[in-house]
Amino acid sequence: MTASPVNPIRKYTRTFILCVSLLSAWWPGSRCLAQGAQGREKVTLDLHKATMDTVLLLVEQQTGYRFFYDTADLDTNRIDITVNQEPYTKVLANIFSGTDLSYSIDKYGHVFVVKGEAIATDLPPAFFDKTTAAQKADVAANDTVRDYLEEAGKKVPATIENKLFVIGDKTPGPPPRGIANLVGYARDAKTGEPVVGASIWIDNPRIGTYSDRYGYYSLSLPKGRHSLNIQSIGMRDTRRLIFVYGDGKLNIDLVTQVMTLKKVIVSAEKVSNVKRTEMGVQKLDIKTIKQVPVVFGEADVMRVVMTLPGVKTVGESSTGLNVRGGSADQNLVLFNDATIYNTAHFFGMFSVFNPEVVKDVELYKSSIPARFGGRLSSVLDISSREGNKKAITGSAGLGLLTSRLNIEGPLIKDKTSFIIGGRTTYANWLLQDLPAQYKNSRASFYDVNLNISHEINKKNNLYLTGYLSEDHFNLNNDTTYAYGNKNLSLKWKHIFNNRFYNTVATGYDRYQYSIGSQENPVNAYKLGFDINQLYLRTYFNYLLNSSHTLEFGFSTLRYKLHPGYYVPVGGKSLVVPDTLQTEQAEESALYLSDKYTITGDLSLEAGVRYSVFNYLGPSAVNDYAPGYPESVGTQTGVTNYSAGKIIKTYGGPEYRISARYVLTTDLSIKAGYNTQRQYIHMLSNTTAEAPTDIWKLSDPNIRPQSGGQYSLGAYKDFKHNTIETSLEVYYKNIDDYLDYRSGAQLIMNHHIETDVLETKGKAYGAELLIKKLTGKLNGWFSYTWSRTLLRQNNPNEGELINGGNWYPADYDKPNDVTMVGNYRINHRFSVSLNATYSTGRPITLPIGVYAYAGSLRALYSDRNAYRIPDYFRTDLSMNIEGNHKVHQRTHNSWTIGVYNLTGRHNPYSVYYVSENGAVNGYKLSIFGSAIPFVNFNIRFE
Amino acid sequence: MLRTTTIGITFIFLVIVWGCRDVYVSPYKSPPTGYLVVEGYISGNSVTQFTLTRTVPLPGDPTIPTVDGATVQVEGSDNSIYPLTDLGGGIYSSIDTLNLNPQLRYRLRIQTTNDQYLSDLVPYKSTPPIDSINWVQDGTRQVRIYANTHNPADTTGYYRWDFTQIYEHDAGEDGVFYYDKDTVPKMVLARSPSMLTYRCWTTSSSTSIIIANTTKLSSDVIYEQPVKTIPPDDIQLSVLYTILVRQYAITADAYAFLNLMQQNTESLGSIFDAQPSQITGNIHSLTNAGEKIIGYVSAGTVQQQRIWIQRYQVLDAYSDPCPIKDTIIGNDSASLWNAFGQGPFSPLVQGPSCGNCWLSNYKDCQDCREQGGVTQKPIIWPN
């Protein structure tokens, strides 16, 4: 809500303005300029570069007139004015001349200042008579038609719904025919940030589109007069009257929706699953994410993604996602354009994404657009916010374990903005509870985000993203342990013309970890790993005509991995420095896809991505006897390759096809098929993704993973599209997925290929999602039934697992039910509840006991033949906002809640251990009781 | 391994802070197994001994069945044969030290009633002597016992240790009387020397797998390899403690076998630990291919060293939990029967000041066997 009085005493003004605006919308044709009924007062002013606010305040003090206006309309205007005892009306005319502002004065001395048309202060004479159709037509005909020429440099943001915008060069004569193209940006009127996913459409014929991640939209529509409707979640619905003569631009400023309790937004065209061609795509904005209670109360992007259907995780404190039966390394996690290799802080208790900086999260688990590649299962695309382009603002949060601070604002007003956010922890107090021998342990983490967006001109934009995260853990002062991400990316967006734009992104990503121990001076060591990548990605979007939109581009990625080094620390250490040879490779891809609207009901999106992977020298590659399992015994020699030499090339096409057929306006069906290739593998034989897992490139001895997925879905909206439902089924196969021999040595292994097995996987399932994101009660319910099975039945690979039969993967949890709910009791108070149930994950349980080395020991047999007990958890949180006065300097809110409300001991792992000679079985729960939390957040400007 | 340990420990921290650990009873019924388990060492400088047992289902009776009546022999790569004697209880042992040739390789052959088993031939690994066994008491008052060794020839690489420990632990009170309730009249009598229960000795062996390797070091040096940790204020260090540490040089394969067994059975159970996997040794069935046999046969020499730790050498040594003797029991037969015959007390001193009443204490405090252990003094005990 941006309408505001000149001074805060007049609290009633806001409502008043609303009423008047409404009136003006009802009666757009009438003009009512200053009549000067009370304009006899004299005014004296001498101001230079004064804001409109100041000028109007002074006029008000001298005359007793009262001004009403929307601050957003005035804030760009600066005025030089010198008048001495001039009549009031003359002064006002002077003030508003050369602006696009109009004013009108009613009989009570209220002055209404608006952009564009002046407000009618009286009802038209025939208002209370039934308005006839003829009159309506008359009104429409009297609309002021103005040229809207952006090129003229006159900044005219479209904020008035009843103004007619002329698109293209106005031609005299009969109405134009043919198709024209309209583009522009949807922005937040207050902050200047792009509005993503706004639905923009005309009713007749029904043509629509959505704004992209930059707020950019492009629409092909018949020439002529239209009403352009714009809707976006969290924004006030609006429309623009346009008269299209040819291609043109129209930027749309949207006003934040102040949620009113009585108002339920019923809309026909929200970004709806029914209408999208893609399937298996889920999008969450940060507002939704922040409502979901999580342990320690800090909004956690990854945790909320885990509540979506088809997304599983092996355990409570694991951030590794298993999407539709894929392993944790088969997800491409992008933060803006940067690849984040480790998404967890503090062993998985927190995700590395600062909720104050994140704008939204999009998960692609089925139709992965052709522009993405390199991972088999999913793409998690996390976008950060752009900074406020109008004013410096900020926010801060205080929790039991972490604190965060975020500042944003313009560097050049309306052109360049920045946002910088940081988080840190003070978890050391937790470690006080540890047993005496670990008392000296220390844990800490931090992360820093910096985003700068710059508008070079109307056609060129630059985006800079910097990201840094670090974790440190010091075990009892002698084992130190650190890991972190570093990312830097620069993106340039260029608009060639209305139908054609592109982005070019380049950047550097790094993930590294190290462990060092000096506990024993002779064995003191430091062990480390890092992965580095440099990339260049181009993306072109070409609107061929109203039924074809082409996307194409090229990307290349240069990997450089240091798979491990192990070096001595201190003078007494006898550790021999050992370094695994550096790995390098180039992964490139060309892609093309077409969004083809065959009829209004049937549309198809088909793409192909051709990826090529070159494993590059210098390298010494181990050779093995063909036809035998790769083992130390079958190694025949080593081949040396020089720097830059292409040692091995893998590649092939990947297909991305999805189709949608709309049966009725609120029911559609979709089908999809897509294939993927993955050239980098995470090596981990632990159940959960650990920060110290290392990555391995495909090489002559380790083939890339590949996979395909067939999916089918039905989508239906209920209750005027406020309830969205979907049912999707899928079948997926995975080839050359890496598994491990028993007792595999994964770190500092010079012949890792002898310890891995290339296995096959298959996954299938059904996912039901019911989602309601508007209204007092909102949230979603998801149910997933799925299986994920693996098999290693090739004796040439070596060891057969479970006799070569299919066995369940660690994250195979057939039944999974999640409910996320939020109930808004009033503006300042809402309650969130989530509940989740899932089948226990498979585990390898002992089948017997034997005696060895002085103790009874557990005997293990088939892998993953049993399951841990089922999982159930409920969390509750209350979000309490401070008062909602718009123009106070700070806004604060509290989040109070309880994680694991029922205090259930959810087994996280079940294990048997030999202790003092006996075998004991234990269930381990990470959160063995209800965990209360509190978080304080403050926003300031 | 090193990696998972660190993360595992850290992870356990989090569990300690918020989590909890409950006993787990598997709802699943184990299939019958009865696999052969072979444990022992072909030794060139001490008695060679093997133990044959079988696996049992879990849960259930943890009594491990032994394999008796088998024929067990050590075979050299020169076709030499060294039969072992069945000592009963699944133990098969050589009478004397076997006269083995370090240049040869050796294996084990087992003939049970129905099946025959044969191990792979393994090299004879000479174990370097233990340089020292030392101990320190750290800041948290734990006593840590370490082994140090090195091989100047740099040929060992993989090591294994086990130990046997004995400690003396005395009762809180040196009771010289006892209440004889089995003879008539029931009365308090003085104990004969064989009935004294003041001094006890407990003998036990290592229960965990202790292994290390030096393959990442520039020379074959083991420095302060942890062997045993005794918690603060522990009864093991209440009087006198001794540990005999044995050291074995093993092959890389034997190390891998023990390492996997350790991961499978001694890890902390967090999800950052490697998952349990099937374990296979170097013993195979000749009659039933594919039969699972647990065990790894190694050959070579054994080195050992013993150290002693006296009570006075440690800070904050064990404090006796027995309450002070303050229970007074009258010297009439009813009181004696109530306190000593039926009650938990035992007579200590007869006090003339209270009319020949008995100052008494709990029986536990006069009987060291209550803490485990036997009253038979070990041969090696110094006094």
- In tens, the pLDDT along A891-935 reads 888 888 898 889 888 887 888 888 877 888 888 887 778 888 888
Contacts of B218 in chain A (CB under 8 A): 574-576
Rounded-to-integer distance, Cα A524 and Cα A518, Å: 4
Q: CB count, 10 Å around CB of B370?
A: 15
Does position A160 have pLDDT exceeding 50, yes or no?
yes
Please indicate whether, in this complex, the C-beta atoms of B272 and A742 are within 8 angstroms of each other.
no
Closest alpha carbon within chain B to A799:
B278
Query: Does residue B68 surpass a pLDDT of 80?
Result: yes
CB contact under 8 A, B14 and A347: yes
- Please list every residue in chain A whose beta carbon sits closer than 8 Å to the beta carbon of residue B227: none
Handedness of CA B343, B345, B350, B352 (dihedral sign): negative
Q: Is residue A258 very low, low, confident or very high in pLDDT (cuts 50, 70, 90)?
A: low
B140 in A contact zone (CB under 8 Å): yes
CB–CB contact A928 B265 (8 Å): no
pLDDT at B335: 82
The CA-atom distances, in angstroms, between A295 and each of A779, A835, A900 are 18, 13, 8
Q: What is residue A15's predicted lDDT score, i.e. its pLDDT? A: 32
> Which is higher by pLDDT, B351 or B60?
B351
| Interface contact flag, A687 B271, Cβ < 8 Å | yes
B63 touches chain A (CB under 8 A): no
Q: Record the tokens describing residue B233, joined without a space.
A: 């204020």
Q: How many CB atoms lie within 10 A of CB A642?
A: 9
Query: Residue A59: which pLDDT band, with cuts at 50, 70 and 90?
Result: confident
* Residue contact A857–B58, C-beta within 8 A: no
Least confident of A130-139, A871-880, B73-82, B92-101: A130-139
Q: Measured between beta carbons, which residues in chain B are less than 8 angstroms from residue A575?
A: 216-218
Judge whether residue A432 has pLDDT over 90: no
- Taking 3-state DSSP, the helix, strand and coil percentages for chain B, each rounded to the nearest 5, stand at 15, 45, 40
Residue-averaged pLDDT of chain B: 87
Model confidence at A632, pLDDT cuts 50, 70, 90, reads: confident
Which residues on chain B are in Cβ contact (under 8 Å) with A513? none
pLDDT tens readout for residues B246-268: 999 999 999 999 998 998 888 76
Q: Any CB–CB contact under 8 A between A374 and chain B?
A: no
Tokens standing for residue A395: 């926010």
Give which of B277, B283, B291, B294 to mutate to test A binding, by max A Cβ within 10 Å.
B277
Q: Which of A29-43, A725-739, B190-204 has the highest mean pLDDT?
A: A725-739
User: Residues 242 to 271 of B: which have CB under 8 A from any A CB?
Assistant: 256, 258-261, 263-271
Whether B265 sits inside 8 A of A855 (CB atoms) is yes
Closest residue to A318, CB basis, from B221, B271, B276: B271
- Predicted confidence band of residue A389 (pLDDT cuts 50, 70, 90): confident
Q: Is residue A912 within 8 angstroms of chain B, CB to CB? A: yes
Do the chains contact at B223 and A521, CB–CB below 8 Å?
A: yes
- Highest mean pLDDT pick, A66-70, A551-555, B15-19: A551-555
Q: Which of A792-806, B276-290, B296-310 has the highest mean pLDDT?
A: B296-310
Which one of A693, A750, A859 would you mutate to disrupt binding with B, by most B Cβ within 10 Å of its Cβ? A859
Tell whether omega for the bond before A626 is within 30 degrees of 0, i.e. cis: no
Tokens matching residue A229: 């409707």
Residue B34: pLDDT over 50: yes
Long-range contacts of A70-75 (CB under 8 A, 24+ apart): A70/A2, A70/A3, A70/A4, A70/A17, A70/A114, A70/A115, A71/A2, A71/A3, A71/A4, A72/A2, A72/A159, A72/A189, A72/A190, A72/A253, A72/A255, A73/A101, A73/A113, A73/A114, A73/A115, A73/A159, A74/A101, A74/A113, A75/A51, A75/A390
- Would an 8 Å CB–CB cutoff place A315 in contact with chain B? yes
The whole-angstrom separation of Cα B347 and Cα B186 is 13
Cβ <8 Å between B267 and A913: yes
In chain A, whose CA is at the least distance from the CA of B264? A858
CB distance from B278 to chain A under 8 Å? yes
Cβ-based contacts of A566 with chain B (< 8 Å): 216
% of chain B surpassing 70 pLDDT: 91
Q: Give the per-residue SS3 of A737-779.
A: EEEECCCCCCCCCCCHHHCEEEEEEEEEEEEEEEEECCCCEEE
The residue-averaged pLDDT of A497-517 equals 92
Query: What average pLDDT does range A269-292 have in this prediction?
Result: 75
Beta carbons of A926 and B266 less than 8 Å apart: no
Contacting residues of B for A688, CB less than 8 Å apart: 271-272
Instruction: Please indicate whether, in this complex, the C-beta atoms of A852 and B14 are within 8 angstroms of each other.
Output: no
Share of residues in chain B with pLDDT > 90 (%)? 52
Look at B20 and A919 and tell me if their CB atoms are within 8 Å.
no
Band of residue A122 on the pLDDT scale cut at 50, 70, 90 = low
Whether the predicted pLDDT of A136 surpasses 90: no
Q: What is the pLDDT of residue A526?
A: 92
Q: What is the mean pLDDT of chain A?
A: 82
B259 to chain A: which residues are within 8 Å by CB?
743
pLDDT tens digits for range B369-383:
888 889 899 999 997
What's the mean pLDDT in A317-331? 86
The partner residue sitting opposite B20, judged by closest CB among A851, A920, A928, is A928
The answer to whether residue B239 neighbours chain A at the CB level (below 8 Å) is no
Average pLDDT over residues B4-21: 57
Residue B356 Cα, gap to closest chain A Cα (Å): 46
Orientation angle between helical segments A52-63 and A88-96, nearest 10 degrees: 170
Report yes or no: B35 at the A interface, CB cutoff 8 Å. yes
Chain B partners within 8 Å of A685 (Cβ) = 274-275
Give the C-alpha separation, A385 to A188, whole Å: 12
Report the range of poorest mean pLDDT among A271-280, A922-931, B136-145. Answer: A271-280
pLDDT at A263 over 70: no
Q: Do the Cβ atoms of B33 and A847 come within 8 Å?
A: yes
Contacts of residue B214 in chain A, CB cutoff 8 Å? 574
At residue A567, does pLDDT exceed 80? yes
Residues A143-164 have a mean pLDDT of: 49
- pLDDT single digits (tens) B161-205: 999 999 999 888 887 888 888 887 888 888 888 888 888 999 999
Name which of B151, B271, B273, B294 to mutate to probe chain A: the one with the most chain A Cβ atoms within 10 A of its Cβ: B271
Residues A362-371 pLDDT 10s: 999 988 999 9
Residue A121, pLDDT above cutoff 50:
yes
- Chain A residues with CB-CB distance to B10 below 8 A: 347, 473, 475, 481
Question: How many CB contacts within 8 angstroms connect chain A with chain B?
Answer: 253
**ipTM (interface pTM):** 0.89
Between A808 and A44, name the one with better pLDDT: A808
Tell if the CB–CB gap between B278 and A854 is shorter than 8 Å: no
Task: Provide the token pair at A12.
Answer: 């009633």
Q: CB B277 to CB A742 under 8 A?
A: yes
Shortest CA gap A473–chain B (Å): 8
Q: Distance (Å, rounded) from C-alpha A720 to C-alpha A134?
A: 32
* Residue A388 buriedness (CB in 10 A; 0-12 / 13-18 / 19+): buried
pLDDT of residue A135: 41
- Which A-chain residues 675-734 have CB contacts (< 8 A) with chain B? 685-688, 690-692
**Chain B nearest CA to A279, separation (Å):** 33
Residue keyed to tokens 């209305």: A498
In this structure, what token pair is assigned to residue B47? Answer: 């008695």
What is d(CA A311, CA A782) in angstroms, rounded to the nearest whole number? 10
Give the least confident one: A243-257, A616-630, A659-673, A691-705. A243-257
Of B18, B56, B271, the CB nearest to A688: B271
Contact A337, A385 (CB under 8 A): no
Nearest CA to A170 out of A128, A221, A134, A224 is that of: A224
Residues in B closer than 8 angstroms to A633, CB to CB, are: none
pLDDT of amino acid A743: 76
With CB atoms and an 8 Å threshold, state whether B58 touches A846. Answer: yes
User: What pLDDT score does B159 carry?
Assistant: 96
- pLDDT at residue A272, rounded to an integer: 63
Judged by CB atoms closer than 8 Å, whether chains meet at A863 and B275 is answered as yes
What is the distance in angstroms between the Cα of A318 and the nearest Cα belonging to chain B?
Answer: 9
Q: A845 and B26: CB-CB below 8 Å?
A: yes
CB contact under 8 A, A913 and B266: yes
Band of the pLDDT at A152, cuts 50, 70, 90? very low
Burial category of A623 from C-beta neighbours within 10 Å (exposed 0-12, middle 13-18, buried 19 and up):
middle
- Tell me whether residues B53 and A921 touch, CB distance under 8 A: no
User: Could you tell me what percent of chain A has a pLDDT over 90?
Assistant: 32
Q: Which of A478-487, A505-514, A926-935, B140-149 has the lowest mean pLDDT?
A: A926-935
> Rounded to the nearest 5 degrees, what angle is found at the Cα of A116, between the Cα atoms of A113 and A122?
60
pLDDT at A29 over 90: no
